[in-house]
Amino acid sequence: MKSGEVSGDKIRELAQQITLVENSGTGSTQLLASMPTPSAHIVGITGPPGVGKSTSTSALITQLRSEGKSVAVLAVDPSSTFSKGALLGDRIRMQDHALDSGVFIRSLASRGHLGGLTGTIYSVLKVISAAGFDLIIIETVGVGQSEIEIAKMADTSIVIAAPGAGDGIQAAKAGILEIADIFTVNKSDRPGADATVRELKGMLSMVSAAPSGSGWETPVIPTIATDGSGFVELCESISQHYAYLVDQGLLEQKRIGRIRESLLARTMNDLALKAQEIESQQDVAVHCAAGELSEDQACDLIRNAIKAGS
């Protein structure tokens, strides 16, 4: 087996392990406990619908493979209980990378994940990393709050915009400027790409002038995902960002941050479910409406019931 490849047996085992972890099946707790903290370089890709995330992911895979790196893709759709990501993932797999043993593609929808999607993503990252992939790409649909939360699971976050359509302003509103380590302006074969690159650079210069400025200058890279233009530059930026994280001692912080997000997502989800259950069992809102409890007293009642473990 060449370097940058993962054996067929390993891939079949991986697919089974992910299903086990996704469904919290028997043995998943032991399996996860036996696995080390993910060591693969985790790269997030996010951006508005239709901007070219899947096409860019495919072009990125092609470039990374030419550099001998193995790549796994986790396509996540936080807004869907129904796996649209599976279709897109399948489409990439069918098209270009079907027979490549250095590529693994899997999708994850939000359906009924105990402990929230973020907790599940972390577990799946652990399993994929343990299978030996060099890079894991998390492709997320959209630019809302849950997408930003998922982007925080990555070491390196790539945000994709397209020419025109006020994407820069949308990005600023959604808080996406702060999470982007790298911007691409995809569909640069279309008019207005230069203006969008300038607009994003202008907005980024304002963000990085803030005291929280990190010392990393977020590049804005024009790409054409349909023909691969700009993907050599994008891969260089991804490697540079990784080197920056290592140099600054930030990689370990990213790893800790990822575990923290996962723990908080899982426990807050449990607490939220518990609060809902107590409220509904004891008709707390109904008692508030009848004037028998103030809202403060109602909250205390729910908190105390959670603490008492009832």
Ligand X SMILES: Nc1nc2c(ncn2[C@@H]2O[C@H](COP(=O)(O)OP(=O)(O)OP(=O)(O)O)[C@@H](O)[C@H]2O)c(=O)[nH]1
For residue 140, the minimal CB distance to ligand X (Å) is 9
Rule CB under 6 A: say whether 55 interacts with ligand X: yes
CA distances from 146 to 13, 14, 110, 151, 209 (A): 30, 26, 11, 9, 26
50 binds ligand X, rule: CB under 6 A: yes
Q: Is the dihedral of CA 171, 224, 65, 127 positive or negative?
A: positive
Dig out the tokens for 285 from the structure: 């809102």
Per partner kind, with CB cut-offs from 5 to 8 A, the member of Mg ion, ligand X, none near residue 51 is ligand X
Return the C-alpha torsion angle 127, 128, 130, 135, nearest 10: -150
Can residue 184 be called a binding residue for ligand X (CB under 6 A)?
A: no
**Which candidate, 211, 144, 220, places its Cα nearest to that of 180?**
220
Q: Strand pairing of 182-185 and 156-161? A: parallel
| Residue carrying structure tokens 């230069």 | 194
Based on the shown chain and the rule CB under 6 A, indicate whether residue 52 belongs to the binding site for ligand X.
yes
Give, rounded to a whole angstrom, the gap between the first and last alpha carbons of the chain.
Answer: 55
CB of 201 to Mg ion, least distance (A): 26
Please report how close the Cβ of residue 34 comes to ligand X at its closest, in angstroms.
34
- Residue 233 binds ligand X (CB under 6 A): no
Q: Can residue 200 be called a binding residue for ligand X (CB under 6 A)?
A: no
Output the smallest distance, CB 12 to ligand X, in A: 27
Q: Which is nearer to Mg ion, 6 or 105 (by Cβ)?
A: 105
In whole angstroms, the minimum distance from the beta carbon of 53 to ligand X comes to 3
The listed partner (ligand X, Mg ion, none) that binds 126, CB under 5 to 8 Å by sort, is none
Q: What is the DSSP letter of 142?
A: B
Among 14, 42, 51, 135, binds ligand X (CB under 6 A): 51
120-159 footprint of ligand X as x/- string (CB under 6 A)? ---------------------x------------------
**CB under 6 A: which stretch of 106-114, 130-138, 223-231, 270-278 binds ligand X?**
223-231
93 binds Mg ion (CB under 5 A): no
Burial of 265: CB neighbours in 10 Å, binned 0-12, 13-18, 19+: buried
Q: Return the residues of window 67-126 that contact ligand X according to CB under 6 A.
A: 88
Q: Which helix (H) or strand (E) holds 75?
A: strand 71-77
Q: Does 140 bind Mg ion (CB under 5 A)?
A: no
**Residue 193: what are its φ and ψ, rounded to 5°?**
-65, -45
Q: Footprint of Mg ion on this chain (CB under 5 A)?
A: 53-54, 88
